[in-house]
Structure 1
């Protein structure tokens, strides 16, 4: 049986460490997205995301394979923090931070 004291200890530890993790995680997303530049290839984006251990969602083709988009998202659970990447053909066209 889990005691009330154990639950309270866990809640306090979570309240202390989650903000630190959140700022570290969102900072990692910011740093990665500012390093990206329009003109980079789609394959370079995928390789760089794998190398830097960031969560890449996509790339997803939007219109007959010519237009695509992807997201670099934070791992932190209660966060909807990401940057959106749009591309045409095999080239990154724009990068936008979204909080």
Structure 2
């Protein structure tokens, strides 16, 4: 239900698949929601669930590292963040 995917289904140009939860005016893709979206629920969950390393100066390398963690506690926290993102994006309809 991310704008990047929904837009693809309806042939919306990529640059118009913007996040509707915040005012960053960025494409609503996985990277945006995990690291940059300023929606209060997502950003609070991000701070609670991700180590500071991932939040500070996010980049593609950190994105890849995040999805390759093996620590069960870190994986659980990532799932909690993803659940928050899913709930917020789904609330838009």
TM-score w.r.t. the length of structure 1 is 0.25
Specify which structure has the higher proportion of helix. 2
- Whose radius of gyration is greater, 1 or 2? 1
Specify which structure has the higher proportion of strand. 1
TM-score w.r.t. the length of structure 2 is 0.26
